[in-house]
């Protein structure tokens, strides 16, 4: 099963993991890593690398990060470029994580990337537009 590591500024990553547990239950091979205010990118890379090692069963690892170009992304990207079977998705949201949790069993890394790229944007809607289309 593909491992999942969630990386964010501050407590968001742990919060997403906590929220996901409430909805889809305890998740195997899924870890959160947060960037603290006083931390540098090199230290963050080490923390992400340790988490990746823990969740990697040989099927690869998908890293979800909050903001494109920010430190959690930069650190994950630098690590990914030195490893096989790893990818990074930015702009993560909870519906995206839930879809990944549901489809992890039996899906390859490439398949999960497609699922995340579809689930993230399609989960963003306004109430007014949703009511109009009914």
Partner 1 sequence: MPVFHVRMDNRLIHGQILVSWNSAFKIDHIIVTNDKVANDPLQVTLLKAVAPLNAKVSVLTIKDCVDYCNSPEAEKENIFILAKYPEDGLALLEAGLKIPVLNLGNQAFVRGSQKISNTVFLTESGVKALKKIHEMGIRITCRMMPNDPDTEYWPTIEKTLPQWAKSD
Binding site for partner 1 (CB under 8 A): 9, 37-41, 43, 67-71, 73-74, 77-78, 81-82
Q: Which residues contact 126 (CB under 8 A, 6 or more apart)?
A: none
Q: Which residues contact 70 (CB under 8 A, 6 or more apart)?
A: 9
Tokens read off for 73: 């992304």
Rounded to the nearest whole angstrom, what is the least distance from the CB of residue 127 to partner 1 in the complex? 27
Helix extents (H) in the chain: 12-24, 41-55, 71-80, 94-103, 109-122, 127-132
Rounded to the nearest whole angstrom, what is the least distance from the CB of residue 66 to partner 1 in the complex? 8
Quote the DSSP letter at residue 9: E
Nearer to partner 1, 40 or 118 (CB): 40
Rounded to the nearest whole angstrom, what is the least distance from the CB of residue 74 to partner 1 in the complex? 6
Nearer to partner 1, 24 or 70 (CB): 70
Which run of H or E residues covers position 104?
Answer: none
Nearer to partner 1, 14 or 74 (CB): 74
Please provide the size of the chain in residues.
134
Rounded to the nearest whole angstrom, what is the least distance from the CB of residue 128 to partner 1 in the complex? 27
Nearer to partner 1, 81 or 127 (CB): 81
């Amino acid at each position: 099963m593909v491992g999942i590591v969630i990386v964010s500024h501050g407590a968001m990553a742990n919060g997403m993991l906590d929220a996901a547990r409430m909805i889809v239950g305890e998740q195997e091979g899924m870890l959160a890593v947060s960037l603290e205010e006083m931390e540098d990118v090199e230290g963050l890379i080490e923390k992400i690398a340790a988490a990746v090692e823990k969740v990697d069963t040989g099927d690869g690892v998908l890293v979800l990060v909050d903001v494109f170009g920010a430190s959690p992304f930069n650190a994950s990207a630098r690590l990914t470029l030195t490893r096989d079977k790893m990818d990074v998705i930015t702009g993560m949201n909870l519906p995206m994580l839930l879809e990944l949790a549901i489809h992890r069993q039996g899906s390859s890394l490439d398949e999960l990337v497609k699922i995340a790229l579809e689930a993230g944007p399609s989960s963003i809607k306004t109430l007014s537009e949703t009511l109009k289309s009914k």
